[in-house]
Structure 1
Amino acid sequence: MSSAKDVKFSLKVTMNNQKTKVLFAEADSDFTDVLISFLTMPLGRIVRVLKKHFGEEEAVRIGSLTTLYNGLANLDSVHFWTKGCKEALLDPMSSFRNECLKLKLDVSDTQPIDQFTCYHSCCIPTSTKVLRTSNYFDSATCICGKTMSRVAGWKDTQAANNDGVFTRKKASFIISDDLKIFPNTTGFIQTLSTLEITDKDVGEPINVTFGFNEFMDLLKGSLLSPTPLSDIILNKRKVELGTTTPKTEPGVLLHAMEKEATSANSNKMILKVMVQKSTNKLLFAQSEEDFIDFLCILLAIPIGGVECLLGGNACLKNIDNLYKSVANINGDKYLVTQDMKNRLVKPKLLHGYISGNPILPLSEESCPRYQNIIAQKAVWFSSVKFVKGQGKYIGGPTLYKITDDLTVTHFCMGSILSHLKDRKIPSSDVKELELEIGLQEVIS
C-alpha cells in the first residue's frame, strides 16, 4: 500500500426520492471488513485516532471517555509504575492487530509488528515473527540466554486462503443508514421489510467513492449521529459537536455474564466520595491506586467488548446495530470462520492489559512461547513496561482525586481546599460517604 489515504472504495447507494436520506448502501467484503473493524478498536485508541485526525477541538467527546483519557495523559509519569505503562494505555493495542494490518484500509492506525533476531556468535542468525503481539513483547530472550535484537516493521499482508479479513471475499452486504449490516442475499421483499421502507420511497442508486477521510467521518458519526451515512454522502459532515452521553439502565447485565463472573463478582473496591450536604451534589471522589487501575483498563477494552458486557445495548445506536448484526450473521457462510465471529462478539483483550485482581469479567489472549523450528530455538518474551506485575499501571501507596466526569488527578489537599473556597463551600457543608464498588457498579 502506498498510503492509507490513497485507498478508495466504490459504494452503490440508494437514497429516497427526495434525495434527503440514504436508505441503504451495497458494499463488498473489503468495505464491510473496515466497518466491522470499528468493533475491534479499544476505547482509548478510538479517542487517540479521532484526536489525531480531527484535532483536539473537533474530536468526538463521548461522555467521560475523553476526559478520562485526557486526565491520564496529563497525569505525571511518576504516578505510573513505568513510562511504558502510560504509553501502553494511551495507545492501546487490539487483539485483532494482525487482522487490522491486512485490511485494505486500517482506520485504527495499527503499526507493523516487529521481529526478534539473535545475532550472538553461538547461534544461527534467524528471526522469529510474532503474528499476534502482546504488552509483554517488549524484549525477547533466546534459548542461548542472550537478549534478541528487535527488527521493526515486518508486516503480513497475505490473508489466509485468499479470503477476506472478517468476511468472505466474494460476499456482498447491505448497510443501512444506522449501520445495520446483513448479507445481500436476503431477497427483495425481506430487505425492504428489514429496512422498513416501501418501493415508493426508493430513488435511483448512485455510485459513491469512499476513502480514508470518509471512513474517519463514519467512525465519528457512528458515535454521534443517528444517520451517519446520510451525513457523509449528502455532505453533512459538520456533525454537531459536543458530548454524547450514553444513557444506560441501571443494572443492565447479561445473565450469562453474571454466571461466568462468580469469582470476579466477589472482588470489591472502596471509594470515598465527598458530597455537599446542602445540595446532595457529588464534589469529588478519592481513591487509592486500585480504582484508578480499573479506570485505566477501561481504555484497553474494545468497543465490541463493551457491547458484549452490556448485551448489545451500550446506547450508542449505530455501534449497537453493528454489533448485533455481526452477532446475528451466519458465521460459517458469510464470515471467514465461525471462530472469527466468536472472537468479534466476545473479544479478548491483548495479553497484559488485565490486572491481577479484576472485577470486570474480561478475558485476554494467552501469551505463547514461540518456537523457531528451523533453528531449534525457543524464545521467551518478557516486558519492561509491566515489570511490577500483570496489568499494573498506577503506583502507590498514594491518593488520587476523581471528578464526576472521571478526570483523574493526584490528590492535593491544598488545591481541594482552595477549590472549595472559590466555590464558597465551607468544609462543614461537606460529608464523606464510603461506597462499595463491585461488578454492577463497574458495569454501570
Structure 2
Amino acid sequence: MIMASSAKPKHISITLVVDKDKNKVLYAEAESDFVDILLSFLSLPLGTVSELISKDSTAQPCRFNCITSLYQSSKNLDPKYFYSNEYKGKLLNPTNPMEAYSEKLVYNLDDTPISQGFHGYLHKPTSFIVSDDLLALVSDLDTTWWMLQNFRIDFDSERLTVNVTQNEVLDLLKFSLWSETLLTDLFLRKKLPIPNSQIPESELEVNEIKGKEGRKMNLRLMVLKSPRKVLFGEAGEDFTDQLLSFLTIPLGALEHLSQGKFGLGCIDNLYKSLRRLDPTRDFSSEFYDLKNKLLNPHVA
C-alpha cells in the first residue's frame, strides 16, 4: 500500500517539455522530491515490486515477468511447507534494506512505519532534468549543453505542468519496468506497453540437469522439442529455496550485478543517473554513504 509521510500529503509538480508535432516528452524539469522517489525504486525487493504493480492505479495492474508467478506460488504454498509462518511472511513482505531512509519520502511505496529524522536522499532544493527514458541529471551548465546536443527545442515545444499523485507514483514504477519512453507513455499516451508472449504447441521430451561440481541441485525438466522451450521442471526444496530467495533481492542489487545493463525498461538509466550523482554535493550531508547503499542495496 502506498503511504504518505506523517506530514500533510502534498502533490509533487513536474514540468514536461513536449514536442507537440510528435506528441513526445523531450524532458521534464523536477525537484529533488521527485528524483528521491525514482531512486527509491532501486531499493524495492522483487517480491515487493511484484505485489505493488498487481494493484490498481491510474494504469492497469500488470505482471513482473516470472517474478509474479514466483510471488503467487509463495503466497499459495501451504504454510506447513515452511519452517514457520514467519519465513513465509518474510517472502511475501520482504524487508526493504533502505526502509530507514525511505519512510519520510513524500510518497513511500513500501508499507513501513514512519520515522522522524529523514526527508529524502537528496539535498533540497535541487533542480533536475529528467529525460523521457528516466536519465536524471542535476540542472547545471553541463546538463544545459547536453540538452542542446540531444533535443530539438523550438517554438513548437510546449511546457506542461503536471501533478504527480499517489496513484501516479505507482504508475511510475509500473511504467519504469516496461517502457523506454516513460514520461511520454505515462503522461501523454497514457498506455502501458507490456509485451505479450505465447507458448506454442509441440511435442514434449524430458531432460535432467545437474549443477556443477560441489553443491548440486537436481532439476528434471519437461522440454518442448520444437522450438526447444522448458514447459516445467521438478525440483527439490534446495532449488525451490533458491528461487524463492529471489523475492528478497532489491532492484538495485540486480543493476549492480549487471553493471547497469539489466535491460529492464528505464531502470538501467535510473541506475546510471545514480552513479553520476556527486555524493558530497547532491546527497543529504548527514547520510554521506547513501549513494553507495543505493548503488548496491543488500538483501535485508
TM superposition score normalised by structure 1: 0.58
Structure 1: state its 5+ residue gaps: 113-154, 246-264, 351-444
Residue deviations 1:61-93 (CA, integer Å, cap 9, x gap): 232111111112111111111111111101111
Higher-Rg member (1/2): 1
Q: Is contact 1:269–1:290 with CA below 8 Å preserved after alignment?
A: no
Pairing partner for 2:77 from 41, 61, 75: 75
Equivalent residue for 1:325? Answer: 273
3-state secondary structure, aligned to 1:270: coil
Q: Residues 12-411 of structure 1: matches in 2 within 5 Å?
A: 12-18=15-21, 20-54=23-57, 58-108=60-110, 110-112=111-113, 155-159=114-118, 164-185=119-140, 186-193=142-149, 196-200=150-154, 203-234=157-188, 236-241=189-194, 243=196, 268-275=215-222, 279=226, 281-336=229-284, 337-350=287-300
Q: Is contact 1:89–1:300 with CA below 8 Å preserved after alignment?
A: yes
State how far apart, in whole Å, the 2-side matches of 1:46 and 1:190 are.
Answer: 32
CA spacing shift, 1:17–1:53, aligned 2, 3 Å: closer
Residue deviations 1:38-78 (CA, integer Å, cap 9, x gap): 111000001111223359x9422232111111112111111
Equivalent residue for 1:404? Answer: none
State how far apart, in whole Å, the 2-side matches of 1:35 and 1:62 are.
Answer: 18
State how far apart, in whole Å, the 2-side matches of 1:207 and 1:233 are.
Answer: 10
* TM-fit CA distance, 1:327: 1.1
CA spacing shift, 1:277–1:306, aligned 2, 3 Å: closer
Residue deviations 1:329-371 (CA, integer Å, cap 9, x gap): 2121112254111101111111xxxxxxxxxxxxxxxxxxxxx
Count of residue pairs brought into register by the alignment: 280
Equivalent residue for 2:206? Answer: none
If each structure's helix is expressed as a fraction of its own residues, which one has the higher value?
A: 2
* TM-fit CA distance, 1:277: 8.6
**Which range is displaced more, 196-205 or 222-231?**
196-205
CA spacing shift, 1:269–1:223, aligned 2, 3 Å: same
Work out the percentage of aligned pairs sharing the same amino acid. Answer: 33
TM superposition score normalised by structure 2: 0.84
Task: Name the amino acid aligned to 2:115.
Answer: D
Q: Is contact 2:6–2:104 with CA below 8 Å preserved after alignment?
A: no
